[in-house]
């Protein structure tokens, strides 16, 4: 009987979400993307993951990030709980952002978290701070590093699949499950295997910055780490070269003869005029997100040189990733 009641509750919640989505987007033509569609940077969601941010406390002109977030709901405002994860030590700072219907907002990392590099998680919450299935948030970021790497990256959106939450006994913590299961606290699944689809040769002036993030941990005490990772570099002749490495809650490195440690080294594999691709995963069942930003000093003078970036591709999914977040009312 308990299982049947939970099924009925879940079904009713999904129907309510569908009605809300239809009403809120009634003025838009076409069919809304279903909440059950997997996480991507091309949909709206109740949780946004910004793969990187950085800023300099002394020279924001060369190192900074502009974070953008938009409420696409035409009827309702929303409270957004922002978590800033320091990629160097996995510590977390947080703040709230309150958006009215149809409102967009932007802020600079140098103004809110100067001198820190990491990733950001933005979660739609109720007035009491609990996660809410408000699948209408979209976002992106403009990021520039002191090294010259810069890009516009879309925020990866995860939809919340039910209204219910799993709370601690005292109600001060809530669990977020990236399991796609449509149970209390469920969101879309997170990627398990990610890929960089085109890696240019350094001999052609390319400097590709690879960024990887662990999806998981307690955002009240500290984000989880990537741990040991396994990767395969393929050249354009389909030859595979494997490598291993490890990372904290965020891993960030330019691809060179130093990383990844392949045999032979990268510059011997991807010689002038050649390209390759990389896939990365953990032997443990964890969620991973990431991005790649290429810098080519010849972009302004060569018709075949380009700079820019994009989020990594999601090849397979994990249902094991989860976050614990603190629950308290927003201050706005």
Q: What is the pLDDT of residues 217-243, one digit of tens each?
A: 999 999 999 999 999 999 999 999 999
- Fold matches, 7-188+321-326 and 191-317: yes
Interacting residues of 295 by C-beta distance below 8 A, sequence separation 6+ = 147, 148, 149, 150, 206, 207, 208, 209, 307
CATH number of 191-317: 2.60.290
pLDDT of residue 6: 41
SS3 per residue for 105-155? EEEEHHHHCCCCCEEEEEEEECCCCCECCCCCEEEEEEEECCCCCEEEEEC
Please state the pTM of the whole predicted model: 0.92
Whether residue 125 is predicted with pLDDT greater than 80 in this model: the reply is: yes
SS3 per residue for the chain? CHHHHHHHHHHHHHHHHHHHHHHHCCCCCCCCCCCCCCCECCCCECEEEEEEECCCCCCCCCCEEEEEEEECCCCCCEEEEEEEEECCCCCEEEEEEEECCCCEEEEEHHHHCCCCCEEEEEEEECCCCCECCCCCEEEEEEEECCCCCEEEEECEEECECCCCCEECCCCCEEEEECCCCCCCCEECCEEEEEEEEEEECHHHCEEEEEEEEEECEECCCEECCCEEEEEEEEECCCCEEEEEEEECCEEEEECCCCCCCCCCCHHHHCCCCCEEEEEEECCCCCEEEEEEEEEECCCCCCCCCCCEEEECEEEEEECCCEEEEECCCCCC
Whether residue 126 is predicted with pLDDT greater than 60 in this model: the reply is: yes
pLDDT band at 10 (very low <50, low <70, confident <90, very high): very low
Contact 85, 223 (CB under 8 A): yes
pLDDT band at 266 (very low <50, low <70, confident <90, very high): very high
Whether residue 48 is predicted with pLDDT greater than 80 in this model: the reply is: yes
* Measured distance CA(75)–CA(70) in Å, rounded: 14
Whether residue 167 is predicted with pLDDT greater than 90 in this model: the reply is: yes
Contact 187, 207 (CB under 8 A): no
Whether residue 2 is predicted with pLDDT greater than 60 in this model: the reply is: no
- The torsion angles phi and psi of 220, rounded to 5 degrees, stand at -95, -20
- Provide the percentage of residues in the chain whose pLDDT is more than 70: 92
**What CATH fold (topology level) applies to the domain 7-188+321-326?**
Hypothetical Protein Tm1070; Chain: A (2.60.290)
Domain boundaries, the chain: 7-188+321-326, 191-317
Answer whether the bond into residue 8 is a cis peptide, omega within 30°: no
Q: Which of 309, 324, 289 is nearest to 39 (CA)?
A: 289
Q: 196, exposed or middle or buried, with CB in 10 Å at 0-12, 13-18, 19+? A: buried
pLDDT band at 160 (very low <50, low <70, confident <90, very high): very high
Mean pLDDT over the full length of the chain: 93
Q: pLDDT (tens digit, 9 = 90+) per residue, 291-326?
A: 999 999 999 999 999 999 999 999 999 999 999 999
* Measured distance CA(293)–CA(169) in Å, rounded: 43
pLDDT of residue 15: 45
- Region 11-33 average pLDDT: 60
Q: pLDDT (tens digit, 9 = 90+) per residue, 174-199?
A: 999 999 999 999 999 999 999 999 99
Q: pLDDT (tens digit, 9 = 90+) per residue, 58-109?
A: 999 999 999 999 999 999 999 999 999 999 999 999 999 999 999 999 999 9
pLDDT of residue 32: 86
Place of tokens 């309702």: 76
């Amino acid at each position: 009987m308990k299982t049947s009641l939970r099924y009925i509750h879940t079904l009713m919640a999904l129907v309510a979400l569908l009605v809300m989505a239809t009403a809120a987007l009634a003025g838009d033509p076409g069919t809304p993307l279903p909440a059950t569609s997997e996480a991507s940077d091309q949909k709206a969601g109740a949780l946004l993951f910004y793969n990187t941010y950085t800023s300099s406390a002394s020279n924001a002109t060369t190192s900074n990030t502009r974070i953008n977030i938009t409420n696409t709901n035409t009827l309702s405002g929303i409270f957004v709980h922002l978590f800033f994860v320091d990629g160097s030590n996995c510590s977390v700072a947080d703040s709230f952002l309150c958006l009215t219907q149809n409102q967009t907002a932007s802020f600079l990392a140098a103004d809110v978290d100067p001198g820190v590099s990491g990733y950001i998680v933005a979660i739609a919450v109720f007035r009491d701070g609990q996660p809410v299935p408000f699948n209408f948030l979209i976002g992106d970021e403009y990021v520039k590093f002191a090294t010259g790497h810069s890009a516009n990256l879309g925020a990866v959106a995860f939809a919340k699949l039910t209204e219910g939450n799993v709370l601690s006994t005292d109600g001060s913590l809530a669990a977020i499950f990236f399991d796609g299961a449509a149970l209390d606290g469920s969101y879309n699944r997170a990627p398990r295997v990610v890929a960089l689809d085109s890696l240019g040769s350094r001999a052609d002036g390319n400097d590709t910055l690879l960024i990887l993030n662990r999806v998981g941990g307690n955002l009240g005490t500290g984000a989880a780490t990537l741990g040991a990772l396994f990767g395969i570099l393929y050249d354009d002749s389909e030859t595979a070269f494997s490598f291993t490495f490890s990372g904290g809650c965020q891993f960030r490195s330019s691809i060179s003869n130093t990383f990844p440690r392949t045999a032979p080294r990268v510059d011997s594999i991807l010689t002038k005029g050649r390209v390759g691709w990389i896939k990365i995963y953990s032997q443990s069942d964890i969620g991973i997100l990431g991005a790649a930003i290429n810098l080519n000093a010849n972009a302004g003078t060569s018709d075949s040189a380009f700079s820019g970036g994009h989020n990594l591709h999601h090849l397979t999914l994990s249902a094991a990733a989860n976050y614990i977040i603190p629950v308290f009312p927003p201050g706005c």
